Structure 1
Amino acid sequence: MPTRMRFTTWRPLATAATAALTATLLTPAAAQGAPGENTPRESRPVYAYDTAVREAVWVDTRLDGDGDGRSDRVAVDIVRPREPAQQGRKVPVVMEASPYYSCCGRGNESQRKTYDADGDVVQMPLYYDNYFVPRGYAFVAVDLAGTNRSDGCVDVGGRSDVRSAKAVVDWLNGRGEAYTTRTGTTRAEAGWTNGRTGMIGKSWDGTIANGVAATGVEGLETIVPISAISSWYDYYFAKGAPLYGSGPDWLSDYVNSPEARARCGAVQRRLADGAPRTGDWTPLWSERDHVRDADKVRASVFLVHGMQDLNVRMQHVGPWWDALAENGVQRKIWLSQTGHVDPFDFRRATWVKTLHRWFDHELLGYDNGIDREPMADIERHPDQWVTSKSWPPRGTDTVRLNPAQGTRPGVGTLGLRPGEGTETFTDDPRHGETDWAAQIDLTTPDKAGFVTRPLGRDLRLAGSSEITVTATPTTPTAHLSAVLVDLGPATIRDYADAAEGITTLPDRTCWGPSTTGDSSCYKETRAKKTDVGYTIVSRGWADLGNHASDLTGRPLTPGKRYTLTLDLAATDHVVPAGHRLGLIVAGTDKDLIDPPADTPALTLDLSRTSARVPVVGGTAAYARATAGASTDAALQATELSGVRDPRTAQRLPDGRR
């Protein structure tokens, strides 16, 4: 695993630059800092929100995605404090670029932009403008190319998506052109900002932040990607195995504006042709792989993700996080027990405070201590959080665990000793991880399960796992799934519920001032919990036809043995003393991958099958946790209970279907 930098290793703002920036942004001494302080530690809500400047500009992207012979312009709605500009002072920018401002809405209450008769924004979705504008920030909301009031076409994470947002960062830094209308010639200048920009957003919005950061654009100081994609291939496929029954052309058509749908047929065809359902890697996916461009990232990254997100899955965290670490990017991370949920809806007060401090540090240069705090916050139980000085923690090491044949078919052991024997199962697309985990101690025809004895000590897993499987199929096509599971009772967030771990309440709390058209008050939430007998820890999938290459698949020869490595998504999970750690190998994971063309039986060669799992404390910690453990008959040969089956159907990257 790559060496990870400590969170305390920050690129410092130059002393002179910090002093100049502070002087530029401050009102007389007491306005932003407490009385008597020379260096402020927190921006204060000293500017009027109701009289803030609200304006719209159209930024030239220098692209012609819709092929009409004119450079596409993207609509940018701005809310900024009036007083700094009147006093000749410049402000930093919090920016969100989204395809959802008109088609689908943002946040738990699906808010859309609304406008007055002059075309200036009245309601900005979410709380960013209400909270940060009074504190001396501008909030900038960009309609992605092809959506709402922008020209162009949505190309689902490609050049148009990323360049249309990057063009706005360039304009904010004096390197681009913008106009006061969509088709006019009157220039709009960004003289009110110092150009220091932080991008934020959930799902597709956060994915755009990842993509813009991966261009290395100057002026983008930080990004806060929430439940975001790092490689679009991994949104649709897992090593050749299809995760959804449709591709990016469906998604583009869903969010394109009516005007874009009428003129973007060529883009739709390119998306369909470039994303074959074979799962082969194509140039389309290379263009949409931000991990490979992590060496260009200059911005710091505050990453937030749900460890049970079955939409934008945790596979988007591990490779991106490791690549950022390899390239010395300053990082912070929150990992929740939720599915595809914004931290505003699972840890609201702490989130807003932390985000405020993060932007103050990164965009205002305030020495507020957030750079000296733990790198990671992890939700260990619903609403119970722990911190980690670095992530994965120092001392985490890969432990090789070997499955071995047990005394009953399909029910084996998992441990440090070399594996032996074989296990055979038949793909059954009617079943998935919840069925397999519930019956892990029972002989069933559709999976092979391997378990440790009950642990004598807690065992913490932190990071990404992988499993190498050697299997012999009976058909020319076969898919594989691998699941790590914590076998034992727990109370967890009910991520399989429609709200993915939260319950929305009628009471509202307010996060900044409001206007008649833009309220800062949002419905509160609480954790939606469920009691389970097992917890899915990590998952991974692959097409066995990709055994020779991550990039292309090929038909299998029935009866021939193949070896394939599956990547299991990153996690941070403690298997408590008394529980068991289980590994399941099976075929189609119902509702999470599509089935192959055939219905194969697969025979595992256990002497050539092993899992590499990141254990805090490494092999020694694993050995201590399993030393002297004895079989607990009460936990075995029973059907365990867990969450319901994962939800079905294609969903947008923000969780909507």
Structure 2
Amino acid sequence: MPTRAHGLRSRYRSLVVAAVAALMAVLLSPAGAQGAGSGGARTPLSEPVYSYSGAVRESVWVDTGLDGDGDGRDDRVAADIIRPREPARQGRKIPVIMDASPYYSCCGRGNESQLKTYDSDGRPVGFPLHYDNYFVPRGYAFVAVDLAGTNRSDGCVDVGGRSDVQSAKAVIDWLNGRARAYTTRTGGTRATAGWSNGRTGMIGKSWDGTIANGVAATGVRGLRTIVPISAISSWYDYYFAQGAPLYDGGPDWLSGYVDSPEALGRCAAVQQRLADGAPRTGDWTPLWTGRDYVKDARKVRASVFAVHGMQDLNVRTKHLGQWWDALAEQGVERKIWLSQTGHVDPFDFRRAEWADTLHRWFDHYLLGYDNGIDREPMADIERHPGQWSTDRVWPPRTTRTTALHPGSGTAPGVGALSLRPARPGAAETFTDDPAQSETEWAADLDRTTTAKAGFRTGRLTADLRLSGSSTVTVTATPTTSTAHLSAVLVDLGPDTIRDYGASGEGITTLTDRSCWGASTPGDSACYRDTAARTAAVDRTVISRGWADLGTYASPGKGRPLTPGRPVTLTLDLAATDHVVPAGHRLALIVAGTDRDLIDPPGSTPTLTLDLSRTTARLPLVGGTGAFVRATAGSTAADAVSMAPGARGVTPPHPAPRVPGDGRP
């Protein structure tokens, strides 16, 4: 018996040793940990096994190789770092999640406008957003970079230009041993990133996400993935829509807003160059070429997880659509979320799902885990507040560009939208009224008005889905030498949507908090919860586009119009994904100045549309056949059922954007 007992104890000790060895192998794996997935299946997943309170918190200043402020010295950008202490002690290197921003000291990040904080010795204490709290215990480093000219960085803000992009690219180069950094702003002790494996993922909303796009477009090695949220892809399209000035001031104003107090005193020349290079004429200049990331999509090596609100009237979804299409042409690995919100972070409209999806995305692309996220549906799309659908590929493979034509209707004042081209000579006339907007135009679709031309299908007998970017080609004859145009697609019918026009742009911020990671006294992981803010509407604008008619001959150069002479122009409409349900109607509006979104021209033109030469090309899932099925038996004069007391959503007037609100 003693011999047997001794054998059992020996085998028990052997099992314990084996178990401990297996556990240590897990904990010392490149991810820092891996655990069981749902349903008991073992799915690779980094776990929070490292101390957040004991993490290394440090700052370095990285040489950019540029001298934007003209002081004769290379600009150095500040990078505040938090990383788990244990991996370096174990001889292991870890990946980096990076958010490069101009907002860390002037305006704040996230729904609660968080700023960076430091102790009395200048060491970082508080990092905005939850990325550090959530990912550092899971074996990642988080690096928050101050763009040149902001917070503790040298140089000047150049609003999406070389200096902005180089601010973040230089840090990636340093993480990969290709750039120099120092432990103080003035130099001295060299700082090395021996703790980093060089793999970097960039993330950020608005301007931050824009920088992620710009850095990816350099093709820098070491950048494995980007997660741009509500991000710009071409800065021209932030300030202009095919020559028509948008209500957003200019890049010189934005630079002055975010420049640090020190930078304001030394960056006047940069701001003047921004003003000179971005005239409000809407002409394309070399300044915009240097801030167009779409043209360099062929250089992108990183995977892209794009998130955008389909009702974002700040960074409009044209930015998403043209970037997405360019990446698709290059075969870049991609994923997308499209919400019904305006300019809102997914942490504030789908928090739990976002944390889980982002976790698995970074685990896959930065830690190399085969967790299946690259084989999941490419697209998540919000159909109704809080209700989501998925698509294996976006836009769906059956999507086809379908030409629809405006024409005379079967009742006075009711224009038709159908597959049949209008008869030669058919025309509609309207006069630009800068006091009206898409809201008034949509509300007046069932009656003739002088400020717009409206066309609609009959009541649909089956659902009709648009997925992607649309265009509207018009032939118009102006009465003056200047004219601006708007084209709007509308879903006519009652619905409940996120109230993107209200404060919060589709969300309401609550008083309760939920926690997403580990906390310290100086950096809480707990954030105020949110809920969908909804509105009952009788019609929904689903896509829009604008243009200066004077750009008809060249998209980059406006010219005076000849009164009485027809010109043809194609307007690009913002990308969307929307299902017009059976019982609703699809409408197209062509009008002049949209009061809330573009500046008026220098005159008040009357425009006559040649309907036989006006066409909307829409990305319909199922193409022409789907449109035929959806309109079978309907007529343009069909009545529309209106929900009692329903109202249209009026977007807020986007006066010069306040970066403190996270814009752009």
Q: TM-score range by the shorter chain?
A: over 0.9
The answer on whether the counterparts of 2:102 and 2:147 sit within 8 Å (CA) in structure 1 is yes
Query: Are the structure 2 counterparts of residues 257 and 653 from structure 1 closer, same or farther at C-alpha, using a change threshold of 3 Å?
Result: closer
Point out where structure 2 has 5 or more consecutive residues left out of the alignment.
1-22
The answer on whether the counterparts of 1:39 and 1:366 sit within 8 Å (CA) in structure 2 is no
Corresponding residue SS for 1:317: helix
In structure 2, the partner of 1:632 is: 638
- Distance in 1 (CA, whole Å) between partners of 2:645 and 2:532 is 26
The answer on whether the counterparts of 2:108 and 2:662 sit within 8 Å (CA) in structure 1 is no
| Matching of residues 258-657 of structure 1 within 5 Å | 258-406=261-409, 411-420=414-423, 421-630=426-635, 631-635=637-641, 641-652=647-658, 655-656=661-662
Shift of 1:246: 1.5
Shift of 1:652: 4.4
Q: Which amino acid aligns with 2:60?
A: V
Q: Which amino acid aligns with 1:100?
A: Y
Corresponding residue SS for 1:361: helix
Shift of 1:646: 3.0
The answer on whether the counterparts of 1:203 and 1:653 sit within 8 Å (CA) in structure 2 is no
The worse-fitting range, judged by mean Cα deviation, of 106-115 and 31-40 is 31-40
Shift of 1:411: 3.1
- Distance in 2 (CA, whole Å) between partners of 1:44 and 1:53 is 19
The answer on whether the counterparts of 1:494 and 1:501 sit within 8 Å (CA) in structure 2 is yes
- Distance in 1 (CA, whole Å) between partners of 2:174 and 2:394 is 35
Corresponding residue SS for 2:575: strand
| Pick aligned residue for 1:215 from 207, 214, 218 | 218
Shift of 1:231: 0.2
Q: Tell me, yes or no, if structure 1 residue 224 matches structure 2 residue 237.
A: no
The answer on whether the counterparts of 2:536 and 2:646 sit within 8 Å (CA) in structure 1 is no
Shift of 1:654: 7.3
Shift of 1:34: 3.3
Query: Are the structure 2 counterparts of residues 279 and 127 from structure 1 closer, same or farther at C-alpha, using a change threshold of 3 Å?
Result: same
Paired residues in the alignment total 635
| Pick aligned residue for 2:87 from 80, 84, 89 | 84
Query: Are the structure 2 counterparts of residues 640 and 405 from structure 1 closer, same or farther at C-alpha, using a change threshold of 3 Å?
Result: farther
The worse-fitting range, judged by mean Cα deviation, of 27-36 and 216-225 is 27-36
Q: Which amino acid aligns with 1:27?
A: L
Shift of 1:79: 0.3
Query: Are the structure 2 counterparts of residues 367 and 604 from structure 1 closer, same or farther at C-alpha, using a change threshold of 3 Å?
Result: same
Query: Are the structure 2 counterparts of residues 25 and 74 from structure 1 closer, same or farther at C-alpha, using a change threshold of 3 Å?
Result: farther
Corresponding residue SS for 2:213: helix
Deviations 1:27-69 (A, max 9, x none): 2799612389998610000000000000000000010000000
Query: Are the structure 2 counterparts of residues 269 and 338 from structure 1 closer, same or farther at C-alpha, using a change threshold of 3 Å?
Result: same
Q: Tell me, yes or no, if structure 1 residue 137 matches structure 2 residue 143.
A: no
Corresponding residue SS for 1:112: coil
Q: Please provide the CA RMSD for this pair.
A: 2.0
Deviations 1:250-281 (A, max 9, x none): 00000000111100011001100000100000
The answer on whether the counterparts of 1:496 and 1:647 sit within 8 Å (CA) in structure 2 is no
The answer on whether the counterparts of 2:109 and 2:662 sit within 8 Å (CA) in structure 1 is no
Shift of 1:184: 2.2
- Distance in 1 (CA, whole Å) between partners of 2:43 and 2:485 is 55
Corresponding residue SS for 1:250: helix
Deviations 1:66-85 (A, max 9, x none): 00001000000000000001
Point out where structure 1 has 5 or more consecutive residues left out of the alignment.
1-21
Q: Which amino acid aligns with 2:340?
A: Q
- Distance in 2 (CA, whole Å) between partners of 1:496 and 1:271 is 31
Deviations 1:100-150 (A, max 9, x none): 000000000000000012211111000000000000000000000000000
In structure 1, the partner of 2:207 is: 204
The answer on whether the counterparts of 1:409 and 1:423 sit within 8 Å (CA) in structure 2 is no
Query: Are the structure 2 counterparts of residues 620 and 127 from structure 1 closer, same or farther at C-alpha, using a change threshold of 3 Å?
Result: same
Query: Are the structure 2 counterparts of residues 482 and 514 from structure 1 closer, same or farther at C-alpha, using a change threshold of 3 Å?
Result: same
In structure 2, the partner of 1:6 is: none
Corresponding residue SS for 1:209: helix
Q: Tell me, yes or no, if structure 1 residue 61 matches structure 2 residue 67.
A: no
Corresponding residue SS for 1:263: coil
The answer on whether the counterparts of 1:501 and 1:528 sit within 8 Å (CA) in structure 2 is yes
- Distance in 1 (CA, whole Å) between partners of 2:221 and 2:393 is 27
Deviations 1:474-533 (A, max 9, x none): 000000000000000000000000210000000000001100000000000000000000
The answer on whether the counterparts of 2:545 and 2:574 sit within 8 Å (CA) in structure 1 is yes
Q: Which amino acid aligns with 1:534?
A: R
- Distance in 1 (CA, whole Å) between partners of 2:324 and 2:67 is 33
Shift of 1:247: 0.7
Q: Which amino acid aligns with 2:617?
A: R
The answer on whether the counterparts of 2:484 and 2:548 sit within 8 Å (CA) in structure 1 is yes
Corresponding residue SS for 2:574: strand
The answer on whether the counterparts of 1:482 and 1:540 sit within 8 Å (CA) in structure 2 is yes
In structure 2, the partner of 1:71 is: 74
TM-score, structure 2 as length reference: 0.93
TM-score, structure 1 as length reference: 0.94
- Distance in 1 (CA, whole Å) between partners of 2:342 and 2:429 is 33
- Distance in 2 (CA, whole Å) between partners of 1:560 and 1:257 is 51
